[in-house]
Amino acid sequence: MNIEIKKTIKPIKYEEAIKFLEQRLIDINNNKKDDLIWFLEHEEIYTAGTSYKEEEILNRDINLIKTNRGGKITYHGPGQLICYFVIDLKQRNKDIRKFITLIEKTIIESLSEYNIDSFGDPKNIGIWIKDKTYIKKVAAIGVRVSKWVAYHGFAINISNDLGKYKNIVPCGILDRGVTNLKEINNQNYSCLSDVIINNFTKNLKN
């Protein structure tokens, strides 16, 4: 089960990235390509998953794209690390819940290497941190599965503009906030993608 690792420095338009993922999905199902883990950054965009509600859009002037991933509305933009993947679950016992838990574990382990204590929540998908008495999201997760191939990915906030989340109800959750790694601990995160690769590939082998 080989995995192609791809890193793109220049910001990628959301539509172009999804088109690439969907083609890789077809290629994997036809046994033409290996699994993929792809790191990139998006230009500014809001995306709505399959379970979003219209009232979660607080500013009707934003550029919103409806997608086929799971989840609700989130924001992508500069200062955010996107990790997309196309992973064949037919080679991994066809267990979607286990795969999502694996993603959560990967992010939590990676952030712990930067001395950041984070956690998952069975009721609210994503990765969270506790800031005094307030809980804030630091990473969003959105997954779709087609013919037992999982794709889309997760986004970790590093230094992105948190003010952009005021235009939406992030992930449909009213009583929690959003933060980024620089706000939690202002340190160098330039190697975060490499840390994630190590943990992700290790966890996929288990």
| Residues catalogued as catalytic | 171
Question: Which residue from 125, 121, 115 is spatially nearest to 181, judged by alpha carbons?
Answer: 115
Residue spans of alpha helices (H) in 30-185:
96-112, 181-184
Element (H, E) at 143: strand 134-146
70's tokens: 């799971």
Q: How far is 198 from 114, CA to CA, in rounded Å?
A: 14
154, 111 Cβ separation under 8 angstroms? no
**Are residues 162 and 153 in contact, defined by beta-carbon separation less than 8 angstroms?**
no
Q: For residue 108, give the nearest of 96, 120, 97 by alpha carbon.
A: 120
Contact (Cβ atoms closer than 8 angstroms) between residue 145 and residue 96:
yes
